[in-house]
Structure 1
Amino acid sequence: MKNNKVSDRFLISLFFLIFFSEAIHTQDNLSFKYFGLSIHPHGERDNAHLMPNKLDKNAYGVINYGAALGYEKFIIKDALSLKAVQALYADCAEQFAGFSHIGLRAKIYGHRKGSLYGGIDPTLVYRKNWHSLDAYVDRYRFKGKQEDKWQYMFLWYGGELEYRLRLSESINLAVSFIPGYPDLMSLSWGISYHMPKKEKRVQ
């Protein structure tokens, strides 16, 4: 019982150390991106007829219309962070859809003008049920019965590669690639903003 209490106190202390300690707290980051472009590496021949914004007859590429909002909290300055992303958009069939993911990000490469970040984390993708669409062929990627309102897919290996081109001290042009092969690959682009650290008031 005593060991459990010690363990609980250690975990609570560690949590507060990471998220609230002035010693390691650095700038947080907000991002807003246009979403974007869906990529189907093997094409979508069976359901390409349902995708009005496809770039080719087999829908290897499909334009989407929507946005992705991200919040990033750095644990180690400009090197390691915890990032959450929420996207809402019109999917390949122009129906309401979205994805959510949260996980660790680390800098892979950096120089004066730009940096590349990456991470692997769980991603939940959801959309209005395609079973209501004419001649839809279920390829069993998404879960959900015909009578359900929604379909969903969970990718435990989801993640993000993001390149940030520095425009100013606090503004970056950002391009994100979600490499969830073969189920979800997508591109989005927009702006990321480094939120200035709050200064302590001198009493």
Structure 2
Amino acid sequence: MTDWLVGLMETLGAPGAGLAIALENLFPPLPSEVVLPLAGFTASRGEMDLLDVLVFTTLGSVVGALALYWVGALLGRERVLALAAKLPLVKTSDIEKTEAFFQRHGRKTVFFGRMIPIFRSLISIPAGVERMPLPMFLFLTTAGSLIWNTIFVMAGYLLGEQWHLVETYVGVGTNVVIGLVVLAVLVFVGVRLAERRKGRHAARR
């Protein structure tokens, strides 16, 4: 992957880094924790302009997020509810609670979500489903992405040959996020199965 990224940046320069970040939004196996520090390191060697890297990677983040926003918008609330009704253990009320949460905290969720591994990409879909005003979505996505990108690009720029250390440390945080997600899913499933058992006992009585 690193060789491919290096080749992309050598061929396209800073726009290549932006393209990689846009693809990262759509294909999470291409992590920004690798792309951004590598771009910063490349800039430190004088092969790309640092400001260009920040501009194009942020632009790539916005383009990728916008694509997922429109996926959510095209999917729409009714389709989401229809899909939820077919999923085991999921209730329509779960979607309605999620909607209520997003209506109350949508702006903060989109802004800070751009700085959380895994959720960075996914947060754009509910924003599209809820049809968050596009100018507001673009503003929050750009602001959150600029902060995230700047931190990681500058880390690679300052660390130089040791840029890969960024991925090592961020990987720990990513694993924590994954662990919390898995735990939340297990708790959700456990609660729903317990509710089903209680319902069956009550029906027998």
Q: TM-score, normalised by structure 2?
A: 0.25
